[in-house]
Amino acid sequence: MKKVVVVGSLNMDLVMEVNRIPKIGETIKGDEMSYLIGGKGSNQAVAACRLGNEVSMIGCVGKDTFGDKILKHLKEEGVNVNGIKSDEATFTGIATIFKTKNDNSIVVIPGANDFCDKNLIDENIETIKSADILVTQLEIPMETVEYALKVAKENGVKTILNPAPAREISKEILKNADFITPNETEFEIISNKTFKDGNELEEAMIAWQNENPSTRLVVTRGKDGSSYVEENKVETMKTIKVDVVDTTGAGDTFNGALAHGVSHNLLMNEAVTFAGTAASLSVTKFGAQTGMPKFEEVNKILNVK
Ligand code: RIB
């Protein structure tokens, strides 16, 4: 079993099922409302755990009902929650998700996620040192992300940075990120460019990869698969065709599964295909974590070791 440590966010997702996203100034009637456990960090931890890895999570919830529910759920999934602080001074992060038939929009109120600080990393430094791979995202303070990546890198632990929600990334952060995994929109923000079409995206990917040779860029492209740069050429791993129920958490599944592939030393094409297949399977059920596959389900499609 490989050891995966996730440093990141934990949220309660308030999912509103709607026909369409309301326009500014408009009130619309929704169909259903569900409380589901989410947060990019917690989702990535569950994704990696379902695939058979030993997963520890470092993050922060409030000392409240949502925080208790998240901790209970992660324990039931098999995630080690010793690195999750319950803070009395704040409330658990909330994500309001407007879910339409084909897509979603999300508003996150970070709450306790903003209390995931460098001290918490220091308190859990042994967990990071003993891991095979560290995964982090940008729903916690940037300085914590930077510090966690630095500690991991200094201790020979591989690192994946999922730059979501997208923000400008410093050179210091990139220096310690072995992989960076934006979706197309996030890559526009990171590269400070806009793309009219796939060709422009691919040109920008090659340019970015040449400028940042020590960080492997993987761009997730929804139903078009996932792309990376190999010898100045973009390689795209296609996805499998599925009936989409809910795309929430697809990117998180991709990252949890990429952590599995990288820590098991799969080749780049194998690791990206594995992650893309897991992400495709995840969108076939409602909720960020419900459809995250077990290793056997991905293996049945791919036949990987
Ligand atoms: O990536 C999906 C996640 O983003 C949701 O679970 C929500 O909590 C937001 O953090």
Q: Is 282 in the pocket of ligand 1 (CB under 6 A)?
A: no
Q: What is the pLDDT of residues 234-272, one digit of tens each?
A: 999 999 999 999 999 999 999 999 999 999 999 999 999
Give the residue numbers spanning the domain of 268.
3-21+31-294
Q: What is the pLDDT of residues 28-76, one digit of tens each?
A: 999 999 999 999 999 999 999 999 999 999 999 999 999 999 999 999 9
What residue's CA is closest to ligand 1, atom 9?
39
Bridging pattern class, strands 3-7 and 133-137: parallel
Q: Does the residue 198 lie in any domain? A: yes
Q: CA-to-CA distance for 258 and 183, rounded, in angstroms?
A: 14
DSSP string, 20-65: SPPPTT-----SEEEEEEE-HHHHHHHHHHHTT-EEEEEEEEESSH
Total domains present in the chain: 1
CATH of the domain at 251: 3.40.1190.20
Q: Does the residue 302 lie in any domain? A: no
Q: Is 99 in the pocket of ligand 1 (CB under 6 A)?
A: no
Q: Which residue type is seen at 277?
A: T
Q: Does the residue 59 lie in any domain? A: yes
Q: CA-to-CA distance for 88 and 38, rounded, in angstroms?
A: 20
Q: Is 49 in the pocket of ligand 1 (CB under 6 A)?
A: no
Q: Does the residue 299 lie in any domain? A: no
pTM (two decimals): 0.96
pLDDT confidence bin for 304, thresholds 50/70/90: low
The answer on pLDDT for 26 being more than 80 is yes
Q: Which residues are catalytic?
A: 252
Helices 295-302 and 268-282: angle between axes, nearest 10 degrees: 120
Residue keyed to tokens 């409240």: 64
Q: Does the residue 145 lie in any domain? A: yes
What residue's CA is closest to ligand 1, atom 2?
249
Q: Does the residue 304 lie in any domain? A: no
The answer on pLDDT for 83 being more than 70 is yes
Q: Does the residue 300 lie in any domain? A: no
- How close is the Cα of 14 to the center of ligand 1, in Å? 10
Atom of ligand 1 nearest to the CA of 164: 1
What residues contact 46, with CB distance under 8 A and at least 6 apart?
55, 74, 77, 79, 256, 289, 292
Please state, as a whole number, how many other Cβ atoms lie within 10 Å of the Cβ of residue 119: 12
Atom of ligand 1 nearest to the CA of 42: 6
Pocket test for ligand 1, best of 13, 15, 61, 254 (most atoms within 8 A of CB): 13
Q: Does the residue 137 lie in any domain? A: yes
